[in-house]
Structure 1
Amino acid sequence: MTEEAARIDIDDPEVDMDDAQRLLYRGVPFTGEVTEYLAGALVSLDVYADGVPHGLCREWYRDGTPRSEGVVRRGLPRGESREWHPDGVLSRRQVFDADGLTLREDDAWDETGRLTRSWRCPAEET
């Protein structure tokens, strides 16, 4: 038998934040999925562990088009994250190191898909 993952709505009146900025549900650091709805449409879904973002984080525009997607570990971004314009065209791509503190790549595109920025972290000298 598998246990269903806990899921709460961020607008639930029993959701709060503590002084350490951890998400609490009924006074306890929350582990599970946190959703947000706008006019009945799911606009975000984030995974939390012990009150801190830890897993896949996704956002959508109200029409269901992806808005952003990335992974966080203990509240810090890891690996590749992406953002899209409302029409579905990729608007930004970032790549973070395993430490979650170092940005390695940062690319941006305008609404037509034209690259407007491309940055790479300089290689460290050994």
Structure 2
Amino acid sequence: MTSTSLIRHAARATRRETPTHLFAVGQSVRLKGGFGRSALPADIYHVTATLPPTGGSPQYRIRNDDERHERVTTQDSLEPAGMSRPGDGATLIERTFGHGQGTETKQSRDQKAEAGKGSAQA
């Protein structure tokens, strides 16, 4: 092999595939929270365009209905809007065990105790 063919072969071996876009135009997305910034559930954006990658991450043009401008962001700072996140309306126990399955409140236990006392006195 000659030196020029070795260089061509090495160039082909280091070429990487272009990263694919995970989000489609029109899809609802949310910006991920980061240091010093929390993402609000109301901050829903819509993808208006896909852009070429920068730094190995595909880019998107996004827009919020309440804003007059569009933003450009990378794929690694976005998440689908339908993802549930910790703290979004449910407590840890509700997210773990469901809403009200197999639990009773103190008030209902007190009511049962009162009803038991009334029947015992009669």
TM-score > 0.5 by shorter chain: no
More strand by share: 1
Higher relative contact order at CA 8 Å, sep ≥6: structure 1 or structure 2? 2
More helix by share: 2
Quickly name the TM-score band, shorter chain normalised.
under 0.3
With structure 1 as the length reference, what TM-score do the two structures score?
A: 0.22
